[in-house]
Amino acid sequence: MWFRFGDVLSLASLALVLVGVTAISQKRQQVDEDAELVALKYVNELEQEVLTRNNEATEASWAYESDINEENLKLRNEVQTRNANYFKEIARELRKFDYSSFKDEVLKRKIEKMTQLGYAALPEEKFTQLLDSISGMSENYATVKVCDYKIREKCDLSLEPELTEILATSRDPEELKYYWVQWYDKAGTPTRKDFDSYVALNGEAARLNNFTSGAEAWLDAYEDETFEAQVDAAIEEIRPLYEQIHAYVRHQLRERYGDAVVPEKGPIPMHLLGNMWAQTWDNVADITTPFPKSRQLDVTDEMVTQGYDSLKMFHMGDEFFVSLNMTKLPQTFWEKSILEKPTDGRELVCHASAWDFYKTDDVRIKQCTRVTMEDFFTVHHELGHIQYFLQYQHQPSVFREGANPGFHEAVGDVLSLSVSTPKHLERIGLLKDFVLDDDAKVNQFYRAGLGKLVFLPFAYTIDKYRWGIFRGEIKPDEYNCKFWEMRTKFSGIEPPVVRSEQDFDAPAKYHVSADVEYLRYLVSYIVQFQFHRSACELAGEYVKGDPEKTVNNCDIYQSVNAGNTIKEMLAMGSSKPWPDAMEVLTGQRKMSADALLEYFQPLYDWLVVENKRLGAYVGWELSDKCKSK
Ligand code: X8Z
Ligand code: ZN
């Protein structure tokens, strides 16, 4: 016998149960599918309203930032508060769906993004308090005026253009120190109260969004649990190279300023480095260059001689993008942008920015452009943001973002890497009869090092410091000295005067006062070399192992092939995780310092030999320039 009677019964009931289970699961599946359809319809129907609201908010922010006054601030805050409530409501509705089991990956990704509320998660009263704290800081930053070094009763100097210009060009340590102190005292310290309230509310918002702190909320944009560790590893990888350029610059500055101003083994006094935050040092290339007799690559004077103005600079940037078969700037860009500092006396945020108005072709830049080579690069940087906006404007609103924030920052810089080659500068008539011999090459690599390499530990510190604060690891009574301790540790620089906990210096950097995440720039300065190398390969300008076709002398200008592939990456917006976008251009799915190290290998080789020859000390001792009491 195969089975007994009872077995028959139990088999039958099993079959019945199975039929039942199948029916239930079919039904459940049906319910799931119905729910998914309902969600899809809901999300699609929101699209137009989301665009309109984003547009209104952007218009209000633009109006305020280009004309800072009470009324514009009030209007901006009203729109933002209204929108925060709206997006909170949408998120509440969307959370009713069990969207983690949705089959439509695009829909799932949309809902995940739409339920991430950021500051809008706060109750309305706290949301407006947070807005007030941030606008308090950034308004202070935008409106600081300092008094002239020689004519002390003349007190109308702004960061842009006056202080920026002085820091870049003055070679008088006392004058530089004076302006440094003025700026940090006025742009940093007065923000302390607002900053404390900002930290508290930022933390509350992060926890409402299920993050442990604001640090995790920021890192979430990179969609990779191990991203922080990868960033740490990249900084370690770059460190030997950084130490070499640092040692060389310190040595050269000692030659110029002497032992009493620049120590042999200590950190470099930062006011001597050509930039208020010592974030890039290319403004001191002229006084530290390896081969002063060889022609230098600074074309600022030539730009002035040729009568360049901001409009010309933007037209040239536009022309570069068009030469890559990318999108030409729309007419309204020229009509609505602010490309020069207004002279009608109104206050505005001068820090350069690019804006997407969530319509078709309404994109703008606000920049207090100066006619310098440095700003020529910034023009390309900003136009890179604009090109990204134009390439992804067909995407649904939630995907109208960079693949990650670092991608957005990298696009224009990829073009700048081409613009900065002697080859390109000759092409556009800014450099004539240039002989690219060995000395000139070292000068070129060195200048690139001052513009790119030295930025990496700076960018790292700005957010490592804020992560520390957000995570409660850096305590309020050590905010200032921790900042300088970290700046010294990672960059080997120090303030020109002793600072204390009576001072508060980090908000003297725009992005700290304006609550802009900064890791994006570190990521950009790494991935842009990956993008550059691949674009050069596509342009036929780079062949691995070919000494005639290196990444250092590559100009992708007029390469439709490179342009089309970059375009393909940009057009994805944030519709896919960033490794998918990176793969389109580079074939790689990881952020890697390899391309950057390849770019700077010739500089590294030269610096190691030269620092030995000069007996330049490599590394730095601790700083005693911050006293906690
Ligand atoms: O803030 C900017 C751009 C606007 S996204 C002008 N940058 C960083 C800075 O100025 O600190 C570009 C490079 C770094
Ligand atoms: Zn930018």
What average pLDDT does this structure show over 399-407?
98
Burial of 343 per CB tally in 10 Å (0-12, 13-18, 19+): exposed
Tokens of 371: 């006619």
What type of residue sits at position 401? E
Strands 499-500 and 626-627: parallel
What average pLDDT does this structure show over 145-169?
98
Q: Which residue has the higher pLDDT, 441 or 18?
A: 441
- 511 noted as active-site residue: yes
Residues in CB range of 309: below 8 A, 6 or more apart: 371
What average pLDDT does this structure show over 466-492?
98
- Per-residue b or e along 421-454, where b marks 16 or more CB atoms closer than 10 Å to that residue's CB: bbbbbeeeebbeebebeebbbbbbbbbbbbbbbb
pLDDT value of residue 12: 54
Tell how far the Cα of 168 is from the centroid of ligand 1, in angstroms.
Answer: 16
- Answer yes or no: is pLDDT of 492 > 60: yes
pLDDT value of residue 74: 98
- 385 noted as active-site residue: no
Q: How confident is the model at residue 245 (pLDDT cuts 50, 70, 90)?
A: very high
pLDDT value of residue 1: 38
What average pLDDT does this structure show over 529-558?
97
Q: Which helix (H) or strand (E) holds 303?
A: helix 300-305
pLDDT value of residue 402: 98
Residue 510 CA: nearest ligand 1 atom is 11
- Among positive and negative, which fits the CA dihedral 538, 544, 547, 552? positive
Pocket test for ligand 1, best of 381, 387, 388 (most atoms within 8 A of CB): 381
Tokens of 63: 């109006």
* Residues within a 6 A CB radius of ligand 1: 279, 352-353, 378, 381, 521
CA separation for the pair 70, 72 (Å, rounded): 6
Tell me the residue length of the chain.
Answer: 629
What average pLDDT does this structure show over 373-399?
98
What average pLDDT does this structure show over 264-268?
98
pLDDT value of residue 20: 61
Tokens of 39: 């969600």
Q: Which of 522, 388, 540 is nearest to 457 (CA)?
A: 522
Tokens of 59: 């218009």
Q: Are 542 and 310 in contact (CB under 8 A)?
A: no
Residue 516 CA: nearest ligand 1 atom is 1
Q: Are 539 and 562 in contact (CB under 8 A)?
A: yes
What average pLDDT does this structure show over 194-202?
98
What average pLDDT does this structure show over 493-502?
98
- Answer yes or no: is pLDDT of 189 > 60: yes
> What digits encode the pLDDT tens for the residues 562-620?
999 999 999 999 999 999 999 999 999 999 999 999 999 999 999 999 999 999 999 99
Q: What angle do CA 264, 374, 524 make, to 5 degrees?
A: 85
Express as a percent the part of the chain with pLDDT over 70: 96
Return the residue matching tokens 């310290």: 189
> What digits encode the pLDDT tens for the residues 17-60?
555 656 667 766 776 789 999 999 999 999 999 999 999 999 99
Q: What angle do CA 308, 311, 312 make, to 5 degrees?
A: 45
Q: Distance of CA 451 to CAs 46, 86, 493, Å?
A: 44, 43, 16
Tell how far the Cα of 508 is from the centroid of ligand 1, in angstroms.
Answer: 14
pLDDT value of residue 22: 67
Pocket test for ligand 1, best of 521, 523, 526, 528 (most atoms within 8 A of CB): 521
Say which ligand is closest to the CA of 451.
1
Atom 6, ligand 1: which residue's CA is nearest? Answer: 352
> What is the rounded average pLDDT for all residues in the chain?
96
pLDDT value of residue 399: 98
Q: Which helix (H) or strand (E) holds 287?
A: helix 285-288
**Taking the C-alpha atoms of 13, 18, 21 and 26 in order, what is their torsion angle to the nearest 10 degrees?**
-140
What average pLDDT does this structure show over 319-348?
98
Say which ligand is closest to the CA of 411.
2
- DSSP E strands in 164-274: the ranges are 268-269
Say which ligand is closest to the CA of 412.
2
pLDDT value of residue 18: 53
pLDDT value of residue 53: 98
What average pLDDT does this structure show over 385-412?
98
| DSSP assignment of 403-459 | SSHHHHHHHHHHHHHHHTSHHHHHHTTSS-S----HHHHHHHHHHHIIIIITHHHHH
Residues in CB range of 432: below 8 A, 6 or more apart: 426
Atom 5, ligand 1: which residue's CA is nearest? Answer: 353
pLDDT value of residue 460: 98
Start-to-end CA distance of the chain, whole Å, equals: 94
CA atoms within 13 A on the CB side of 37: 6
Q: Which of 32, 35, 31 is nearest to 43 (CA)?
A: 35
- Answer yes or no: is pLDDT of 11 > 60: no
Atom 8, ligand 1: which residue's CA is nearest? Answer: 521
Tell how far the Cα of 452 is from the centroid of ligand 2, in angstroms.
Answer: 15
- Could you tell me the pTM of the whole model? 0.95
Residue 509 CA: nearest ligand 1 atom is 11
pLDDT value of residue 3: 38
Residue 521 CA: nearest ligand 1 atom is 14
Q: Distance of CA 236 to CAs 102, 165, 261, 375, 424, Å?
A: 41, 33, 29, 30, 33
- Answer yes or no: is pLDDT of 127 > 50: yes
Q: Distance of CA 475 to CAs 125, 146, 469, 495, Å?
A: 26, 30, 7, 21
Q: Are 198 and 130 in contact (CB under 8 A)?
A: yes
Q: Are 75 and 64 in contact (CB under 8 A)?
A: yes
Q: Distance of CA 16 to CAs 2, 23, 30, 402, Å?
A: 21, 10, 21, 54
Residue 237 phi/psi, 5° resolution? -65, -35
Tell how far the Cα of 353 is from the centroid of ligand 2, in angstroms.
Answer: 7
Tell how far the Cα of 414 is from the centroid of ligand 2, in angstroms.
Answer: 12
Measure CA 431 to chain center. 30
Residues in CB range of 372: below 8 A, 6 or more apart: 168, 300, 303
Q: Distance of CA 147 to CAs 156, 162, 177, 430, Å?
A: 6, 11, 13, 36
Tokens of 588: 């790689």
Express as a percent the part of the chain with pLDDT over 90: 94
- Answer yes or no: is pLDDT of 112 > 70: yes
Please, which residues bridge with residue 500 across strands? Answer: 627
Q: Which of 569, 578, 523, 591 is nearest to 404 (CA)?
A: 578
CA separation for the pair 571, 399 (Å, rounded): 10
Q: Which of 461, 419, 481 is nearest to 444 (CA)?
A: 419
pLDDT value of residue 23: 66
pLDDT value of residue 6: 44
- Active-site residue, selected from the candidate residues 351, 381, 408, 511: 511
Q: Are 554 and 541 in contact (CB under 8 A)?
A: yes
CA separation for the pair 63, 47 (Å, rounded): 24
Residue 409 CA: nearest ligand 1 atom is 5
Say which ligand is closest to the CA of 368.
1
Q: Which of 294-298, 340-344, 590-594 shows the lowest mean pLDDT across its residues?
A: 294-298
Tell how far the Cα of 409 is from the centroid of ligand 2, in angstroms.
Answer: 5
Measure CA 539 to chain center. 26
- Active-site residue, selected from the candidate residues 65, 139, 382, 494: 382
Tell how far the Cα of 364 is from the centroid of ligand 2, in angstroms.
Answer: 13
Q: Are 129 and 201 in contact (CB under 8 A)?
A: yes
Atom 2, ligand 1: which residue's CA is nearest? Answer: 352
Tell me the three state secondary structure of residue 517.
coil
Return the residue matching tokens 């599918």: 33
